[in-house]
Structure formats: structure tokens, C-alpha cells
Structure 1
Amino acid sequence: MKSDRGRYRFIKYFLIICIPLLLSLAIVLSLLFDAYDDANNAIIEANERLSVQLGEKAIDYSFGVLRGDALYLAELSSLRQWLDTGDSAAYSRLTEDLITFLQSRQLYGKVRFIDKQGQEITRIYNYEGKPTITPQEQLQNQFELDFVQKTLALSAKSIYISPFEPTIEHSVIVHPIKPTVRFSAPVFDSNNELRGLIVLNYKGERLMRRLRAISDISVGELGLVNDQGRWLLEPHPAGELGFMFRSQGTENLEQKFGDEIWSFISRDAPIGQWMHEKGLFTYVKVNLSKIQSPKSDLNIETGETWVLVSYVSPKIIAASVAEYGRNLSLVGALLTILLVLLSGIVAHYALQRRRAEGRVQRSELQFRRLLESAPEAILLVDQVGQIALMNSQTEKWFGYNRNELVGQSALQLIPERFHQAHPLFQHQFIADAGTQAVSSGMELYGRRKDGSEFPIEISLNPLETEQGTLITSIIRDISARKEAEIARQRVQERYRELLNNLPVGVFRSLPDAKGSFLEINPTMVNLFEAESSEQLLAHSFGECYCELAERKALMGKVLLQGYVYGEEVRLKTLKGREFYAGLTAVMKKDESIGIYFDGIVEDISVRKESEWQIKLLNENLRLRTNELEAINHELEAFSYSVSHDLRAPLRALDGFSRTLLDEYADQLDQRGRDRLKRIRLAAQRMAELIDSLLKLSRVTRTELKWERVNLTSLANEILATLQQMEPDREVRYTVQSGLIVRGDAQLLHIMLDNLLSNAWKFTVHNPQALIEVGCNITKGRMIYFVRDNGAGFDMTYADKLFGVFQRLHDPHEFPGTGIGLATVQRVIHKHGGDIWAESTIEQGSTFYFTLNEKKIYEH
């Protein structure tokens, strides 16, 4: 750890020294690089300005001479003589002069004289240095050409310089393509009358070669574009023909570098330079009409303005400083190594000095830190018992501050009853130079500033210093320990009291052959009918088993799995009484006694007796159930037999009564006919009662078939059927959507049919009848309801509502059998639910029911 801290401190000092030096070096190198970069950029910018200026001078020089040639030929004496005379001799001299001119000027591809109607009069080619006269039949009329018309419109001493164009013969571009600039001047005769124009076809390759030569010696790439941005001279020659095919969409400067660059170049400034992220762009605009000429009165017209553009790519600019950057990096690396070594040396000596200074401080700080961080109160006492030094825990425990204790006797921290023993003990300790606990074997107390006392333990140790031997007194507050001891005693007492008061027997025994008891509670003494604890402890547990095989099986099970729980065994008391016991035991291990068992014994004789009684009752119940099932089957057969036997006489009563009314009505008086009608009605009502009873019986006997049932659909179907049966009634009904339950679909249909039929029946006298079916959630329960605004009933008789044949209304006003609600109740009860009603007379009724959702969903 010390070596790690030493390395950490060395690294810290090293970084403190090295980082500022390296940062300074980096700043200096960065400034040097930036300065070089700025100077390099300035040099490149100056070179590129010089390149475009040289290109401009080359164009100025070349075209200055060419303009003079056009004017010279326009004022040629042989030409004027031929214009004045028109004879063939003069024409021959003109031809000879033009041939001589072409032989002396290899700059031109051809020379022509065209009259003012655009007809070529003479045309001489300069083919590989040999002038050739074009035959008369091959001469063309070129009046429609742009340069012809513009030249004929000029005055004397004027010339026209055309754009770069290809050579065109009979409106077709001549191949191979050679860029050409036409210098033309109007020709006037001696009478100053316009007679035509003289045209010189300048070979553009010569100018292109000069500009390329300038581009080759410059850093960047030199190009020439016209005022439309089309290349006349391009670093890649394949693009130079773009100015000749304006309609073919060849790449121009704007397409190559973007509209931002072209906007900068095409502005009004004649010269400019821009360092852009795409590179360095330098340009100068060449206005051919302003090129200097020996004749100052010369008028020049031109077809376009040229722009010389120099482009230096970012890669070239970066490459120009890369070598300097590498050299600067090498110098920086060497200086970095030197600074790192220097920093390491300085850090090493600084750390050594720091360590020497820290050793002295560290010992004192370590001692004070140990003193203040100690959880106990610590005092340094001199040989006469005065306090020389103390920690903050002493202030906290005794209530004094340092100024009140330092230099005072340590006896003021001890009650007066210990004053006589303490100094003798202290002097004896200094003489023996030993260490011991003052409170060992005796109680010692400390005294606070307020006079209160608390139990303490003091350890004394000698400490040799320059001032002599000091006694280090370590004081421990043992109040918590004393309280813990008292609390532990109380817990042990409560635990013992709990064991003694438990209604079950608690024991600890050995797993030996006898099963000797180690500890027992009083319940064990009573359970085994012993006269005292000593008598039971002298009696082995193995002797208490009625069957030794049970004990062996139980012991094997405990030893195998480590415990048994609720094992039922037959035990016997010391008096020989046998009883059933529930035994629970856990195997444990102790260093002093080895393996032992802790367990409880509970007398379960009463429970076993109860189990036998329950078993007997269950058997009786099973027999009784079988008897009831047989009786139910007999009742079911009887009900069907009775219903059949009763229906026959009822049908006879109803049938014969109807026969008497139909055949002998004229022989009976009104009273007799009325009696026969009453007999028929009674028979029919009796048949209805029998049907209702049979339905009730079937509901009671039906086995539930659990399935998903849509109460919403059932209610809508029943209400629609009721409406069809009484189409003249106007009843408004609402059924809540999504009422999905689980139950027996057939029984739930019977239940809803009875409830809704009652609602339909009891709203017959209400012209604004309303029936509602819905559901509420109350305290987590789904409570369904059927509500109407019909006749209602008196809640005083609500307890009779669901009884068989119980009716709360006049049967003549609201007919019925009195069995419908009893049927509803039985369906609800079979589904594990409840049903109840709330009503007010003449304000309607609400029937609530549940279906015991939790039980249902378990299915």
C-alpha cells in the first residue's frame, strides 16, 4: 500500500509539473504551425494572383498583336486598289499579299474577304504552313453568321472579336474540332463606302498552350471560362469543348463547384480571391474590348467576356503544410521527451522533500486522528494524575470541554468513593508498567459534569514521550452492556415463563438407546402424570412409547431428514395410561453434548376421538344421503305420475264442461252456465299450478352445466318476445351491454324470463312503462338488477315474496300462479348467489341478484 501511495504521489507531482510544460509546448507549437499555415496560405494566394495576372498578360499580348493584323489587312493597299478598280490584276496582287501574310503569320488558320452581302470573295487556308486558295465554286455566303452581321455594323477603325467557336463550313462543324477566335474588321473603299469585311481565324490552341504552361508552373489549376461559366480552358481537356456545344449540357464551372462559387466569380469585381471550404479560388476578368492597342482611337467590339480562374484544392493546401507539420511534430516529440524526463526528475526530488516534511506531521496527525476517531474516551495523564490530552468522545461522555479538563486532575471524572483506591492503583501501575482493566472483577463508575454516574471500564497503558511517561487511559462506557445483560436476563425469564406456561410439553433429549431427558417444562410433567420434574427426568423417553417400533421409525426419520412434524404416536404415562400424542422434533448439535433433540409433545387424544366421531357422522351422512337420493327418485317418479293422473281428470272436467256449454247451453240458465265456466277456469288454473310445480321441481333437480352466458342477449330476446305477444303496448326498455356471466344457460333463461315477465305484467297500467336490466359493482361484487316502474309492493311483506304460492296482488288484476319468484330464488341459490328486492307502491320494484362470481369462475 505504501508503494502504491508513493507511486500515486510521484504521479501527482509529475503531472503538476509536466502538464503545464506540455500545454505550453503544445501552445507554442500550435502558434508556430498556425503562423506557418497563414504564411503558406499567403504565399499560395500571392502565387495564384500572379498566375491569373500572367494569364491575363498572355491574352493581352496575344490579342494586342492580332488586332493590329486585322486593321492592317482592312487597310491593305492591294485590297483598296481592287475595290476601286475591280480588275483581275489587282485581285491577283490581293491574293498574293494575303498568302504572304499567312506565310509570315502562322497564328491564323485562314483569311477571308467577305462582301457586304455576306458572300466570300476570297478564302485562303493555312494548311500545315502552306497557304491554299479556295476555289470560287466552294466559296459560301455567310451573311447569317453572327460575326458577319456584327462586323458590318461597325464603323471604320473598328474590329470585332468573336467568342471561341468551332470552324463551320456549310452550317456544319468541321472535324477535327479546333477552337477558333475570329478577328474581323469592316473594309471601306477610297470613297469611305462599306464594301465588306476582312476575317482572320485565330488558332486558339496557341493561347491554350500558353495558359497551360502558366498552370503547370503554378500550385493550382488554371482555367478559362466565358461569361456563361463554360470552360474554354479546363484542367481536364475533355471539358474544354463545352463552350462549342452550348445545347448539349456539358459541365460548366457552376456545376463543378456550386452556385456559391460561381456567384462570387460572376459579381462585378474585375478581380478577386476567396478561400472557401472547397479550396482557394482566384479569378480575373479579361475584357477583350479594353486590351491596350498601339492605336488609341481603335474601337473594339467583342462577343463575350473571359474569366481566368485559378483553383487550389484543399488537399494541395494541406499537403503544402504537411511536411512542415511532420517536422514540427518531430521537434515537438523530442521536446516532449525532454520535458517528461525533466518533470520526472523534478517530481522525484520534490516528492523526497515532501516525504521528509510529512513524516513529522504524519506521526502527530496519525496519533490525533486515532485519538479523535476512537469510539471510547481517551485521556493522556501524567505521573501526578493531571490530564495532558483528551479526545472529543471524553467531552461528549463527561460533559466537559477541553479547557475545563486539560491540566486538571483525572480524579474529578471519578466518584469520590473511588478516590482513595484510584491513586494507589495508578502508582502501582506505573511501577509495574503493566496493562490491566481497572473494572475487572469490580464495578467502576464515571462522574459527569452534572454529577450523574454511569458504569465504565478503564484500560491503562504506559506511553514513553520526551516529557516522560504518560498514562493512556481508555475509558469504555459499558451502560449498553449492562442494560443488555439485564435485558437478556429478562428475556430468559420471559422465555422460561413462556415455556412453563405452554399448553404443550417441551423437551430436550439425547438420541441414545433410552432417549434420556435433558430438559422439560411443567406441561411435560403433567402430561406424563409425574409427581415432579426430577421423577420425569429420571425416566427415559424411550420407556414412554407404547410400541418400540414407533420410536425406532421416528428416530430414523429424524436422523435422516433432521426433523419430524406432527407425527402421531401412542405414548403412556408413568402411571401406565395410554394416549395419542402429536410429536414434533428437530435434531441439533452442540459442542458440549453433541447431537440432541428439541421437541414438543401434544396430547391429541381428544382430537383423535373427534376424528372418529366425524368419521362416524360422515358414514351416517353418506347413508342418509343415499336414502334421500332414493326418496328423491321416488318423489320424482311420483310427481310425474301424479301430474299425469291429475291432468286426466282435469282435462275431463274442462272437456265435459266445455261440451255442456257448447251442446246444452240453451237448456241451462245463466247461473248454470256461470258455474260451468267457473269449473273450466278452476281446472285450467289447476293445470297451470301443476305445470309450475313441475317446473319448480325440475329446477331443483337440474344439474348445473357451466358455460359462458350473455345475459344481455337473453334479456333482449325475452323482452322482444314479450313485445311480440302484446304489440299494442308501448314499453320502453334498456339492457346494459356486456353482461357476461358463467352459469347454466337454461336456468338463467328461466330466471330472467320470470323476472322480466313480472316486470312486463306489473307495468300494464303505466302508459310510460319502463324496464331496465343492468349491473353495479359494490365493494368488489357484481350485483345485477331488473328494475321497473310498475305497481310495486309493500316492503312489509317482502319476506313472503319468494315463497311458493305467495302473492302480494289481486290475481284478478295481475294473474299468476305465485311460483315464478320461488323458481327465480332457487335458480339463484343453485348458482351460489343471493336475491332481494326493493319496492315502493305505485313507483316500481327493483330485484337485485348475485351469482357468486368467485365460485363460478373457479369452474
Structure 2
Amino acid sequence: MSKIRDKILVIFLSIVLIPLIIVCTFFALHTSKSLKSDKIIDFQRTTKSESEKAIEFLFSIEKDIRSLSSHLFLLNLIDAIARKDTGQINRWEFDVEILFKTFSECRGVYDQIRYIDESGHEVVRVNLERGYAHIAPHEELQDKSHRYYFKEAVKLNEGDIYVSQLDLNREHGEIEVPHKPMLRYAIPVFDREDKNRGIFVLNVLADFLLRGILTHKHLKGVDSFLLDKEGFYLLHPEISKQWGGPSDLNTGENLKNDFPQGIVSVILSGQSGDRFANKQFLNFIPIHFDPSDNERYWIFIETLPKSIVYSPIHTFYIMFGVLVFMLIAGVVTSALVFSNKLTRPIHKLVASANKIAKGNLTEKVTVESKDEIGYLANSFDTMRVELGKLLKDIKDARRDWETTFDSVGDIIAIYDKDCTLIRSNKALLNRLSVKSEEIIGKKCYEVFHHDKYEELSKCPVIETAKSMKTVTREEETPCMNGIFRISVFPCFNDSGEFLGVVQVMMDITERKREEGKLSMVNKELEAFCYSVSHDLRAPLLNIDGFSKALVEKFADRLDSQGKDYLKRIGAASRRMSRLIDDLRNLSRITHSAMHGETVNMSAMVQRIAAELHEGQPERQVEFVIAEGITANGDASLLSVVLENLLGNAWKFTRRHPRARIEFGVAKDEGSRVYFVSDNGIGFDMAYAGKLFKAFQRLHDKTEFNGTGIGLATVQRIIHRHGGRIWAEGALEHGATFYFTLT
């Protein structure tokens, strides 16, 4: 069982630690993100700075070649060569050699500075060796007309510059060892008459670019790479991977071998960007080295290992974690001290509560505290006193309830949801002549000795437990020597959960005996009525016959008043005869055997409507009859029902020139409800209760003939079919009779 101190600790620590942890977490995440971002930004700045320096270097070469190719000394030499002025050639050749030598030593990045005439022969060449420039003697000057850079540069327009690929320098067709990466800048040279007079060439020592600029480390752990457009390494931390292109060492070392294809395609596309791959952060920037062709570029890449980027973050997490741990430890210690002080009086209160729980309501609750806990202790002590009074009241009420429960004359039995008896009143014990412990815990069918399987399905307790609906029935219970009205009700709690059932059994043995006697008396009365009505028919026929004979034979001797009296006697005897016939029919219907079958109600209504039309063909009555309506019942009795209802509708619509009678069926809560409606004179709903009583009439018999037995007969037939009948109407707005059948 959790203690209140633990709960206080949990609440206090939740209030303090959760916000603290959230704040610390956000701070740590934000700080780590900032540290990572700062590191990556510094890395990106480094890459951008080095690429910008490389571009500046290339731009300085462009400036150098433009400056030297248009220098006055070189132009004077070209003019002298064009004039074939040997003296001037020697003079200006010397000046150009000194210019090239001075410039080469000053800059220190040009392996060769050359002027090549239009035929491809070197005119002036200065070689840089170990920081010193040497003028090549005439016998060492070579024919370069076959070299690709001469062929490309000599075709250019004035001012255009040719830049070669960055490759390893070759001497006499072989790659020079040690390797000397070389980049050649060439520009066509024109005389003062704008005639092409050859090219000016700068052989750039690319190591200055590769080692001096692009590998200058601003950040620890950064590696630099330079690639050509095809992905071959021009610069790589591993020397063995450099110059793998087909025009150089042809080793096949390529970016495509080291990184995923998706990243390689982005890097070689000529776009700037950054990626993460192989546990490294990559920055890549294109370096466009040819000022006249933007599609010629190298790709400068720098990589920074993930471990270096996250190193300051790991250091931060360690220091921050130690700080947070110390802070949490301090908070937890404070919470423990606070919770112990707070819960000490609560422990005393708990001890008193345990005593009360064990039934000790005499010992006073004493907790010395002036805060809410002390107030709670005083309230608890007051509750102790009130609880004692309440327990006494509950015991008294329970005793009264048990007395009332046991004094009820009807049998009451309470079962759980498994149909096991859990309580009963004394009426059941007395009827079964058993003690409570003999039946408590038994199943319902065991209590009443219904042990046979075929009888278990009929047990009302089991039926209610399965259907969750109230079951009411009357049945004989042999074990208690009587007939009982049994009502079983399902019990639910406030949440709708089924708890069990309550069974109430009322002894109706005596009532059933009296009902039997009453049934015999009713049968004797009905037999008497039948006999009387049969015996009355002969005298009525005689009266009617003699009254007719008097009118026919003695008409000349009777005055008008006498004839009227005889006419009235005949009419009264005929009405009496019809009444006797209706009574005989009512009695016959009550006792006749029923034969169940499927009856076509629509066809039956159509037949009756046709008969009504034949009887009074002069009347214009519209019949609306729904097709295909059927019912289960006795065909002859249902015919009597429809004949009475349709006959009444025909009778009570005779004042309406456009009479309308309708037969159909409707749905009411899933049950079929048949109806006969008309637009006749209707009736006042205040007298609807008299409709189905024998001899009750709502209209004057002088206006509408009839005996008042018809609707009573209809109701008795409907009841015999297990249904019910009712009517709705309004004066001069017609009437509708509804009935159901089961």
C-alpha cells in the first residue's frame, strides 16, 4: 500500500522536478543544437574562406597573364621579330628575359613563363627551380606546336584566356617524378597591327593552390579534397588516391567509390551545399577556374568527422549532467525532510482510523496540530461520534427491514446473476418446511425441485437471467401444493450492470378455484341465454305473423291508429329477432373452435366491398384496399370482423356524397397494425370507451339501424386471436378502427 508520504514526495517532486527536467532538457537541447550549429557554421566558413582564397589566387593568375602579355617589353620584342631587326630583337629579348625572371622570382608560383611565337617555337622561357629563376638558353628552347595548350590558345581572340586541365606535368611524354601538378594559363599575343604573333604561357605550380591554400587548416580534424568534374581526386589526404584520372596515373580512385551515388551526383552537379555521409559532415563548393567557360570547374570538398562536431556537446552533457544531478539530489533531500514533518501527524490520524475500522468507537482521536491536519483530526473525532450513532440507526433499520421482509405473505426470493439463491423471506421457508441454510446457495431449480432438464428451460428465474426482461406467469408448483402467480424482475446497479433477479410468488390457488366456479356459472348463464333466445324465437315469429295477418285480413275494419299499432308490433318483433340472432352469434363465436391458417385479408375485404355495392348499387363509395395483406387466424372469424367494420363504415358514410373507405396495414414498434378508416360522421372520443360494449350505441337508432352487438363481437374475436382493438375519430371527420393479431 502506498503511503501518503510517498504521494507527497511524488507530487512535490513532480511539481518541482518535472518543470526543472523540462527546462534543463530544453536548455540542454538548445545548447547542444547551438554548439552543433556553431561548429558546423565555423566549418562552413572555413570551407567558404578557403574556396574564396583559391578563387582569388586564380584571379591573380589571370591578372598576371593579362599584365605580362601586354607589357611594353614583350610588344617591342614582337615588333622587332616582325621587322626581323636582329639588333632590336637581342635588346628586347634581354629585357623580356629579365622581366620574366624578376616576375617569376617575385611571385614564386610559376614553374615556367614563356613566350611562344605563332609557329609554336619558344622564344623566351624562364624556369623556376628551388625559388630561383633561370633563363633557358636558345639551344634548350623547344617546339611546342604539337602541345594541346598551344593549339587551343592560338585560336583564341584577343583578350581570351585558355586554362588547361590541372594535371601532372610531363617531360618528354612521361609524368615527371616527383609529381608536379601543373595548371597552364595561355593567352594569344597580337602586335600593334592586331596580327597574331603567338601565345604567352604561364605554367602554374598547382601545389601552391593545393597545399598552400586549400589545405590550410582553421579547424582541427578537417580534411580537404579537390576533384575534377568527373570525380577524380586532385587533392586527397591519402596521397595514393590522388591523380587517379585516365590522363594522369589512371588508378581509378574516384569520389564514386567512397560515397553513395545520391550524394555523389549532387556534389558533381556543380552546386554548393552540405551533406552528412559516412559519419562525416561534408561541405562542397565548385571552383570555376576557366574565366571564359563556366561549365569548367573543380569541386572543393571539406569533411569534418561527426565525433569532432559532437565532442563539445558530449563535454557539455557531462558537465551539465553533474550539475543537474546535484540539483536534483538537493531537491529530493529537501522534499524528504518536508514530507516527514508533514506526515507525522497524519500517521497518528491513520492509527486512530485503524482503531475505528476495527470497531473501537470509544477512543478519542487526539492529534496536536494547529493547521488543516489538526482541523481534520477534530472533524474525524466528530465523525467517530456520529458514526456510532449512525451504526446504531442502521442496525435498527436493518432489523425493521428484516421484520417487514419476513412478514410479507407473498414469497420473495433473491438470486445472484448465476441464479443462486442468496436470500428469501420466511414465507418460502414455511411453504417448503425448510431452514434458511438448507436452501441458501442452491440454484433456483434445486430450491423448487425442478431437476429435469426439460423443465429447466421453463424456469422463470433462468429465463429472466438470460433475457434481462421481466417474466410473469401463472403455474402450479407441486412442491408447495398450489398455483402461484410468479413475477421475476432483473436487478441492475446504477451503472447498468446486471446483479441478479428477484422472484415474487403470490398464492392464487383459492382465486383459481373461485375462477373455475365463476367460469362454470358463466357457461351455465350463456347456455341459459342461448336456450332463452332459442325459445323466444317461436313466440316472436307468431307475433310477427299474426300482426301481418291482422293487417292483411282485417285492413278494412282497422282505423289508421290500429294499423300503426300493428305495424309497430311487427317492427319491434323483427328487431327483437335480430337481437336474438346477434346474441346467439356472440355466444357461438365465444365457444366455437378456432382453425388457424394464413388468410388473405385484402381479398376478403374486396369480396365484402363487392357485396356491399351489390346491396346498394346506387351509392358512390370509393374503396382503397392495400394489396397483398395477409394474417394468421381463423378465416371465418376474421371475416366476421371485417364484415362488421366495413359494414359500419358503409353505414356511417351514407350521408357523404363522396364516401371513402380504406383498408391497410401499418407498423407500430415492429408489430403489424391493421386498420379500417372512413370519412363518415365519426364519433366523439369522449365516448370511445362505450364503443365495444354490448348494446351501447353512440348514434340514434332512428338514424342508423343496428343492435349494438357488432363491435362487441369484433372485440371478442380479436381477443381470441391474442390481439387488441381500438378506435380514433372526430365528429364529421370520420373514424379509424385499428386492430392487431398474434
**TM-score in terms of structure 2 length:** 0.46
**TM-score in terms of structure 1 length:** 0.40
